[in-house]
Amino acid sequence: MHIGIPKETQDGRVSIIPDIVKKLVEEKNEVYVETLAGKSSSFSDADYTEAGAKIVSRDEVFKSANLIISIHPLSEEELAKLSKGVTVVSLFQPFADDSILDKISKHGLTAFSMDMIPRITLAQAMDVLSSQASVAGYKAVLKATDYLPRYFPMLTTAAGSIPPAKVLILGAGVAGLQAIATAKRNGAVVEAFDTRLAAKEEVESLGAKFVMVEGATDDTAAGGYAVEQSEEYKQKQRELIQEKASKADVVITTAQLRGKPAPLLVTKETVDQMKSGAVIVDLASSTGGNCELTKDEEIINHNGVTIIGSSNLAAEVSQHASQLYSKNMHNFLKVILKEGEANYDMENEIATSSCIVLEGTIRYGNN
């Protein structure tokens, strides 16, 4: 298999790092890497060459490879440059915008979407959503410390005592749990909320207090994702969150609904009651945000409260985020490749779930 690694144009990560290139070459693949693809993640062209890759231009990547791996999907113009039968693997998010399916299909391509890999035990090592969310949760806390005009830890000095910061985490999935752990390591007092009662034990194991609202919709069949809640529950939720947020120094929101707008958790009224100098980091900003005032990829100040909208914080820890994504991808490639040849076994649950287009035929919604 001729594998192509284009340079990401939307952030500084790279989809395959040199260590994984070496393994792919050992597995009888040829790897073509775009010039400077790894520079922003501190991987040089020399590192890739030493690992066995060929360093080529972007156009040469598209011309030479029959399997293209990226983090962000290629543009429609770039998809058109690929030969019929080429396979593309990326984060296509067809549940958010299914127009990508026709763009891939009309060129006779095959596409696997890494965000469609089922959340089953066998696929945990391929779960790019979790690996990138973990990085984002870590970075969200550090981002908050940059803007919070206060210490995180409690300090006792000759000049007096400083109480620890109070941090509220909304959503205790992978990003939320990493945010809890990072905030605790930095000395904060942490509370966390999640509609999923299954998260309670994990939250408490990290030393945070679990904030619970009674009456959540059963989520056992949701595959680890949050589910839509009743209006009565949402009202109770808003009231409790407002009470907790008004006392918090930092609020980090991570709640998203697959294929739907992010749930509104922090209203303008709640923000108006928060302390001056408080910080909100909204990791759901790209799907509308959990905070009513969030603006995606912007930092705003509302009556003394800083609101940071960022759904792509993982990219700010580009080297380790790339390392994790690359390892996830390599594990996935073991499913669809065998000794350097395509092995698209549509009886395999991982392959069939993640394959959104097969040789030009749209499978998403039909597989």
Residue 365 CB contacts under 8 Å (≥ 6 apart), including other chains? 98
345 a catalytic residue:
no
58 a catalytic residue:
no
344 a catalytic residue:
no
124 a catalytic residue:
yes
Two tokens, residue 108:
């006779």
Q: Kindly name the residue from 40, 58, 119, 246 that is annotated as catalytic.
A: 119
Q: Kindly name the residue from 151, 225, 233, 344 that is annotated as catalytic.
A: 225
Q: Kindly name the residue from 75, 124, 230, 235 that is annotated as catalytic.
A: 124
Q: Kindly name the residue from 130, 246, 273, 319 that is annotated as catalytic.
A: 130
- SS3 string, 245-256, reads HCCCCEEEECCC
Q: Kindly name the residue from 90, 127, 285, 364 that is annotated as catalytic.
A: 127
Contact in structure between 6 and 70 (CB atoms under 8 Å): yes
Q: How many CB atoms lie within 10 A of CB 135?
A: 25
Alpha-carbon span 181 to 127, nearest angstrom = 20
- SS3 string, 256-317, reads CCCCCCCCCCECHHHHHCCCCCCEEEECCHHHCCCECCCCCCCEEEECCEEEEECCCHHHHH
64 a catalytic residue:
no
The residues that are catalytic are 119, 124, 127, 130, 225
